[in-house]
Amino acid sequence: MPQWILSFGTLGGGLAKKTNLLCAITALALFGASQVSTVFTTAAFGQGHVNINTANYVMPGCRSFLARSKNEDPFLQGRCFGLVDGIALGLAKCLPTDITLFQVMRVVVQYIDSQPARLHEDFRLLAGEAMVKAWPCPRSSKEM
């Protein structure tokens, strides 16, 4: 299981801990849903030989989204936007309340672009890693 999913704190009583558990469940559900969508997307577009979850595949859409290229890779732009939005939702308690999705996307793209040797890895995991590095989740007092 990805480390950023495990960074939600310990289980137990108390409202904060229940919120942490809810966030962890949400992140896991979004991760699972993205796995299912991958199966259907791959089948629908006949791209069984292409891993549409790699950063190599998703990043061109992220870059064109940030460049606001309306006619360049609209499917990949939407895929990137949806993945980043879903992961950000799962990590909402970690992100500043006044941040925009465009800013989150910029952080994710800069993080992944700074590590070209990892472009073969799963975009979703790298995006979550980027967000947690930029905005570390608060730790509960029992973890310290």
- Residues 144 and 102: beta-carbon distance below 8 Å: no
Task: Give the structural domain span for 100.
Answer: 3-134
pLDDT at site 90? 94
Contact 44, 52 (CB under 8 A): no
Q: Is 141 inside a domain boundary? A: no
pLDDT value at position 48? 53
Q: How many domains does the chain have?
A: 1
Q: Is residue 143 situated within a structural domain?
A: no
Residue 144 in 3-state DSSP? Answer: coil
Q: Give the chain's residues under pLDDT 70.
A: 1-48, 140-144
The candidate with the shortest Cα–Cα distance to 57, out of 69, 42, 71, 68, is: 42
pLDDT of 4: 45
In a domain, 139, yes or no: no
Q: Is residue 80 part of a domain?
A: yes
pLDDT at position 138: 81
Residue 140 lies in a domain: no
pLDDT at residue 58, as a whole number: 97
Considering the domain boundaries, does residue 12 fall inside one?
yes
What 8-state DSSP symbol labels residue 50? S
| Range 124-127 contact pairs with CB under 8 angstroms and sequence separation of 24 or more | 124/31, 124/34, 124/53, 124/83, 124/87, 125/2, 125/4, 126/55, 127/83, 127/84, 127/87
* Confidence (pTM): 0.65
Does residue 142 fall inside a structural domain? no
Tell me which DSSP letter residue 140 carries. P
